Amino acid sequence: MSDIEMPILPEMADVWQQTLGWQPDSEQQKLFQQLYELILAGNRQLNLTRITSPEEFWEKHLWDSLRGIFSQKSEKIAGLSGKAIDIGTGAGFPGIPIAIAFPNYTVSLLDATRKKIAFLENTTSELGLTNVNTITGRAEEIGQYPSDRNAYNLALIRAVAEPSVCAEYALPLLKRGGLAILYRGQWTTEENDTLQPALEKLGGIVESIEEFTTPCSGSIRHCLYLRKVAPTPREFPRAVGVPAQKPL
Ligand code: SAM
């Protein structure tokens, strides 16, 4: 696989440092490279991602995944340890870069598609990541399982559904006091208005919203930080498909 161009581009060390105040060590750099190669190889069999050029992979998969956790409250998130869950992880984003960068977190990669989970099992085994496990299933079901409900310190969710649906997937999985990070593109007042009543029902609040510009393409992105401040009523998440069909 060594013929594939290096995506992590050593010159990006400064960009990591300037934008996140962090940069991968040589072992983490090697793991990011291996991850890129495994995803390119997996893409030949599975439709994993359209983001395949080295620069785009670096920015949209690696940097973007980590930007969410290096928030202005980074010490409160990155410095903690515990259980994280990546809901609708797809090819492993943002969960795998976070597991590589923060071995203090145990990261569960959840996806409804069995083939993607099989790919992720193979990938995390190849990478030798001991702080990652996988779950095949729908967030609506997993959120009602006693082993997963109220079990996580951190829930990550990127490119899965509209914000109130993401909140219904994520909040039941969090311990009280836990944090959900919703990775968004644009953030509109309309989305804000629809999220608020959902959060009231689910026991969450918006702790902060951060807008940022990506370092290569200059795209605007947002991260929403939702804190679970009260228990989520037993009826949530609702049955499979209902959150998306009838958002709260
Ligand atoms: N989070 C990844 C990323 O940002 O690159 C993947 C995003 S992909 C567009 C959405 C993924 O969410 C798909 O892999 C899909 O199978 C999964 N998904 C959608 N709804 C889900 C649900 N209710 N429970 C679990 N996984 C779900």
Residue 201 CA to ligand 1 center (angstroms) comes to 23
Is residue 4 a part of any domain in this protein?
Answer: no
pLDDT tens sequence across 134-163: 999 999 999 999 999 999 999 999 999 999
Q: Is 89 annotated as a binding residue?
A: no
pLDDT tens sequence across 70-100: 876 645 676 678 999 999 999 999 999 999 9
Is residue 5 a part of any domain in this protein?
Answer: no
Q: CB within 6 Å of ligand 1 — which residues?
A: 88-91, 93, 110-113, 116, 138-140, 158-160
Is residue 20 a part of any domain in this protein?
Answer: yes
Q: Is 204 annotated as a binding residue?
A: no
Pocket test for ligand 1, best of 51, 111, 138, 236 (most atoms within 8 A of CB): 111
Is residue 2 a part of any domain in this protein?
Answer: no
246/134 Cα distance (integer angstroms): 28
* ipTM tops 0.85: yes
Report yes or no: 70 and 78 within 8 Å, Cβ to Cβ: yes
Which pair of structure tokens corresponds to residue 112? 């409804």
Report yes or no: 96 and 109 within 8 Å, Cβ to Cβ: yes
How many domains does one find in the chain? Answer: 1
Residue 118 CA to ligand 1 center (angstroms) comes to 15
Residue 48 CA to ligand 1 center (angstroms) comes to 11
**φ and ψ at 126, to 5 degrees?**
-60, -35
Is residue 3 a part of any domain in this protein?
Answer: no
Q: Is 88 annotated as a binding residue?
A: yes
Residue 169 CA to ligand 1 center (angstroms) comes to 11
Q: Is 189 annotated as a binding residue?
A: no
Is residue 213 a part of any domain in this protein?
Answer: yes
Report yes or no: 200 and 226 within 8 Å, Cβ to Cβ: no
**Residue 72 has what pLDDT?**
64
82/204 Cα distance (integer angstroms): 20
Cα 74 to chain centroid distance, Å, stands at 15
CATH code of the domain in which 235 resides = 3.40.50.150
Amino acid letter, residue 38: L
Is residue 1 a part of any domain in this protein?
Answer: no
Protein residue with least CA distance to atom 22, ligand 1: 138
Q: What is the mean pLDDT of the chain?
A: 91
**φ and ψ at 21, to 5 degrees?**
65, 30
Residue 138 CA to ligand 1 center (angstroms) comes to 9
- Strands 220-228 and 174-184 turn out to be antiparallel
Please give the residue range of the domain that contains residue 101.
10-245
In tens digits, the chain (248 residues) has pLDDT values of: 444 444 556 667 788 888 988 889 989 999 999 999 999 999 988 989 898 888 899 999 999 999 999 876 645 676 678 999 999 999 999 999 999 999 999 999 999 999 999 999 999 999 999 999 999 999 999 999 999 999 999 999 999 999 999 999 999 999 999 999 999 999 988 888 899 999 999 999 999 999 999 999 999 999 999 999 999 999 999 999 999 999 99
Q: Please report, for the chain, how many H helices and E strands are present, in that order.
A: 11, 7
Report yes or no: 101 and 79 within 8 Å, Cβ to Cβ: no
Is residue 179 a part of any domain in this protein?
Answer: yes
